[in-house]
């Protein structure tokens, strides 16, 4: 079984690339981020023709998440509000960033974590508050359900210096600040393991490269797209890797897919 995560940076722009990649790689479940389209305009038909059941949660021009699965998902949840009380969620679900569903007793949680813009901005404070809400969301999922958890997506955080091509001076940089890393580690302390690092402990592997200044050709990347597993799933994982080939295409997403095999 192959489960993948990929920030596609507009599904309508990248739909043919995504469809071909799914065919070439025989993917069972794919979690997409930054789909950037309202549900009514999502190009579902082409993916359904490939045999995928489609679950979408989008908004116009920004954000948006989706899960495609060859098997139907059970108990699909959209946003924080399907799990947490409204007085905690407030307006956080106005941005479509969370979707989850169950397959083979695994709850797959697909996330698009806010970028935060810069550590001096209000968007940074929003990101930290969003991460705190995510911790509460995952805590409830673990307490109230028997399924194992697979939490994946674009986290917009490089957890360690080896996840950045040049870590010097990044301690006050968005996506690498100490506070962001501590927030993510606090979430992982719920019992989640970075499965990529089980198979690839060394650095120089990235999932995102800036479009500017030859980021990809010079491999000036960041590893900010992650797959985290609870303990029983860690035992079943056979491999986890980043496929950089889609990043070599004409007009690619700036992210590459990450795949976990069971």
In tens, the pLDDT along 74-92 reads 999 999 999 999 999 999 9
Res 240: pLDDT: 98
Q: Any catalytic annotation for residue 154?
A: yes
57 near 73, Cβ under 8 Å? no
Residues 52, 55, 112, 228: which is the catalytic one? 112
CB half-sphere exposure, 97, CA atoms < 13 A: 21
Distances (CA, A) of 123 to 75, 127, 130, 255: 31, 6, 10, 21
pLDDT in tens, 22-67: 999 999 999 999 999 999 999 999 999 999 999 999 999 999 999 9
Please calculate the CA angle 176-182-186 and round it to the nearest 5 degrees.
Answer: 135
Alpha-carbon distance 100 to 69, whole Å? 12
For 153, the 3-state DSSP assignment is strand
In angstroms, how far is CA 149 from the centroid of its own chain?
Answer: 14
Q: What is the pLDDT of residues 152-170, one digit of tens each?
A: 999 999 999 999 999 877 8
Q: What is the mean pLDDT of residues 174-182?
A: 97
Rg (CA), the chain: 17
Residue 141's pLDDT is what?
Answer: 96
- The CATH number of 2-261 is 3.60.10.10
Instruction: Confirm whether 231 is a catalytic residue.
Output: no
d(CA 176, CA 181): 7
CB atoms < 10 A from the CB of 74, how many? 12
pTM given for the model: 0.98
Active-site residue (options: 154, 194, 225, 254): 154
Neighbours of 25 (CB within 10 A): 15
Kindly report each contact of residues 73-76 with a partner whose C-beta sits within 8 Å and lies 24 or more positions away, as own/partner.
Answer: 73/101, 73/102, 73/103, 73/108, 74/101, 74/102, 74/103, 75/101, 75/102, 75/107, 76/100, 76/101
């Amino acid at each position: 079984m192959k489960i993948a995560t990929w920030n596609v940076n507009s599904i309508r722009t990248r739909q043919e690339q995504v469809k071909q990649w799914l065919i070439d790689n025989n993917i069972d479940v794919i979690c997409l981020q930054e789909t950037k389209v309202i549900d009514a305009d999502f190009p579902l038909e082409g993916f359904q023709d490939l045999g995928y059941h489609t679950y979408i949660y989008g908004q116009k021009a920004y954000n948006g998440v989706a899960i495609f699965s060859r098997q139907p998902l059970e108990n699909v949840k959209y946003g924080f509000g399907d799990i947490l009380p409204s007085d905690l969620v407030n307006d956080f679900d106005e941005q479509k960033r969370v979707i989850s569903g169950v397959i083979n007793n695994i709850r797959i949680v697909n996330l698009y974590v806010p970028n935060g813009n810069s550590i001096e901005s209000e968007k940074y404070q929003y990101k930290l508050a969003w991460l705190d809400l995510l911790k509460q969301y995952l805590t409830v999922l673990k307490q109230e359900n028997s399924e194992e958890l697979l939490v994946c997506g674009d986290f917009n955080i490089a957890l360690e210096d080896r996840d950045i091509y040049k870590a010097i001076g990044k301690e006050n940089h968005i996506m690498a600040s100490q506070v962001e890393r501590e927030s993510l580690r606090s979430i992982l302390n719920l019992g989640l393991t970075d499965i990529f690092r089980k198979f690839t402990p060394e650095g120089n592997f990235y999932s995102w490269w800036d479009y500017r200044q030859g980021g990809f050709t010079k491999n000036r990347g960041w590893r900010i797209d992650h797959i985290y597993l609870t303990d029983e799933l860690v035992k079943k994982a056979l491999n986890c890797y980043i496929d950089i080939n889609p990043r070599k295409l004409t007009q690619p997403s700036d992210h590459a897919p990450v795949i976990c095999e069971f």
